[in-house]
Structure 1
Amino acid sequence: MHAYKAGETIEYRVTWLEMTERPRFGWPSLPLGRDAMLLRADTPPWWYFLALYDAVGRDYAWTDKHEMPRDEMTAWVQDPDVALYTLMGRGWPQGFFMLDWREAGICDLAYFGLVPEAVGTGMGSWLLKTAILTGWERETTRKMTVNTCTLDHPRALIQYQRMGFQPVRTEVHSRVLTRDQVFLQPLL
Structure 2
Amino acid sequence: MSKTIEILGININRMNSKEALRKVNALSGKEPLAIVEIITSEELLSLEESQELKAEMKTFDLVLAGDKGLLEAVSLTEERYLPLLLRQLQRNHSRVFVLANNEGECREFAEYLRKDYGIVSLAGAAVLSAEHRDDDLLVNAINGSDVDCVLSVLASPLQEDFIVNNKKSLNTKLWLGTGDAYKKMDREERGIGKLTAFIKQRIFKKKIGDSAPE
Q: Same fold (TM over 0.5)?
A: no
Q: Which structure carries more strand by proportion?
A: 1
Q: What is the TM-score of this pair, normalised by structure 1?
A: 0.30
Which one scores higher on RCO, CA 8 angstroms, separation ≥ 6? 1
Q: What is the TM-score of this pair, normalised by structure 2?
A: 0.27
